[in-house]
């Protein structure tokens, strides 16, 4: 082989290798180029014996050309490896396991929801199950079945939101009593928390919507004493062991007799303060023995069954527990307020 030819071949091998390496996109491709050029049975290696055949004066030039070709291929190999490593690093997610974790803001339950949960827990421990009912009610469930006289002021459109089709937004959770009795055989022991609507002018203690919790217990031989002990147990579980309760005669169409149940003031312990208007007592709930007419409307025999019902506002309970003096703050959705619970 003449020098001329050797140089051409070296040139061809090296430029082919450099071109392949520039296009290589995997370790295997790079390795293959290396093997077929610089490897033990590679093209460059195979050419080196040719050097010995050359005339003496050509050997120097040939040696230089070999070195040049090897250096060019080696440089292209290194560049290709570096390029591949860089692109792998760029596409892999950069995870630094030594960084401290990111704290995601965790939401929490609204204070009213917390009160609902707490009340339902307390009553569940006494054997009551929690049920819900529709907020959109018929006049029959909200008033008629509950024995409300036709001229009862709460039926007035001034006080109740009616829909054009005659239905209404429930003004109390008591219609759930009727729905539960109609759908279940006695005994019945339920609580039903939920939203109610009244056409009040909003102020610090009234809103157009608010939450009530209704309780109903129907069985044979249920008495006022059971009502009293159930409410007392609830009061002490919710506000603490020192709370006392008292009952005053009252009137509701759906209970007879009816009572208004007061709790001893949770702010002053009953001594008298601004919250209880110096009376030592807080009006908390309405209650009573279910009116026989209501039992009959629900298909129960009042000769055989009795029961008690009670209902209270959850905003008021939450306000007393957390010493909040304006219920509008519950629907402002101000995070500075909500984060405190």
- In the complex, minimum distance from the CB of residue 218 to ligand PHE, in angstroms, rounded to a whole number: 13
Beta strands in the chain (DSSP E): 129-130, 136-137, 168-169, 188-197, 209-219, 245-252, 255-264, 281-290, 306-313
Q: From 309, 301, 296, select the one nearest 189 (Cα to Cα).
A: 309
- Kindly state the smallest distance separating residue 335's Cβ from ligand PHE, in Å: 31
3 state SS of 285: strand
Listed ranges 52-60, 75-83, 98-106, 282-290: which one lies at the site for ligand PHE (CB under 6 A): 282-290
Contact between 311 and ligand PHE by CB under 6 A: the answer reads yes
What DSSP state is assigned to residue 303?
Answer: T
Query: Could you tell me the CA-to-CA distances from 141 to 51, 127, 146 in Å, in that order?
Result: 109, 25, 7
Q: Binding to ligand PHE by residue 287, rule CB under 6 A?
A: yes
Minimal distance, residue 183 CB to ligand PHE, in Å? 18
Report, in Å, the least distance between residue 174 CB and ligand PHE: 4
Q: Quick one: which segment of 43-51, 83-91, 186-194, 308-316 binds ligand PHE (CB under 6 A)?
A: 308-316
- Measured from the CB atom, the residue of 66 and 210 that comes closer to ligand PHE is 210
Within a 10 A sphere around the Cβ of 187, how many other Cβ atoms?
13
Q: Closer to ligand PHE at the Cβ: 186 or 313?
A: 313
280 contacts 274 by C-beta, under 8 angstroms: no
Contact between 310 and ligand PHE (CB under 6 A)? yes
| Total of chain residues touching ligand PHE, rule CB under 6 A | 11
Does residue number 309 form part of the binding site for ligand PHE (CB under 6 A)?
yes
Contact 9, 68 (CB under 8 A): no
- Interface with ligand PHE, residue 210, by CB under 6 A: no
Q: Which residue has the tokens 């008021």?
A: 316
List residues binding ligand PHE (CB under 6 A).
172, 174, 214, 252, 255, 286-288, 309-311
């Amino acid at each position: 082989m003449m020098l001329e030819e050797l140089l051409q071949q070296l040139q061809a091998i090296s430029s082919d290798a450099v071109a392949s390496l520039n296009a290589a996109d995997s370790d295997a491709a790079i390795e293959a180029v290396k093997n077929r050029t610089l490897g033990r049975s590679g093209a460059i290696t195979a050419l080196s014996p040719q050097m010995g055949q050359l005339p003496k004066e050509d050997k120097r030039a040939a040696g230089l050309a070999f070195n040049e070709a090897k250096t060019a291929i080696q440089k292209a190999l290194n560049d290709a490896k570096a390029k591949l490593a860089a692109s792998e690093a760029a596409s892999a997610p950069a995870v630094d396991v030594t960084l401290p974790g990111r704290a995601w803001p965790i939401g929490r339950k609204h204070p009213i929801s917390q009160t609902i949960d707490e009340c339902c827990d307390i009553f569940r421990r006494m054997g009551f199950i929690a049920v819900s009912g529709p907020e959109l009610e018929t006049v029959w469930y909200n008033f008629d079945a509950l024995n409300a006289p036709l001229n009862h002021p709460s039926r007035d459109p001034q006080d109740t939101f009616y829909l054009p089709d005659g239905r209404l937004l429930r003004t109390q959770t008591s219609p759930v009593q009727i729905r539960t009795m109609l759908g279940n055989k006695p005994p019945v022991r339920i609580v039903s928390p939920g939203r109610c609507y009244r056409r009040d002018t909003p102020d610090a203690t009234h809103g157009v919507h608010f939450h009530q919790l209704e309780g109903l217990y129907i069985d044979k031989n249920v008495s006022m004493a059971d009502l009293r002990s159930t409410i007392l147990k609830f009061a002490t579980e919710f506000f603490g062991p020192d709370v006392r309760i008292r009952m005053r005669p009252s009137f509701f169409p759906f209970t007879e007799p009816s009572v208004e149940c007061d709790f001893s003031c949770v702010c002053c312990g009953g001594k008298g303060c601004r919250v209880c208007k110096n009376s030592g007592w807080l009006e908390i709930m309405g209650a009573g023995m279910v009116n026989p007419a209501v039992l009959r409307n629900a298909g129960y025999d009042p000769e055989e069954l009795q029961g008690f019902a009670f209902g209270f506002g959850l905003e008021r309970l939450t306000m007393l527990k957390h010493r909040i003096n304006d219920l509008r703050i519950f629907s402002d959705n101000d995070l500075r307020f909500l984060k405190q619970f």
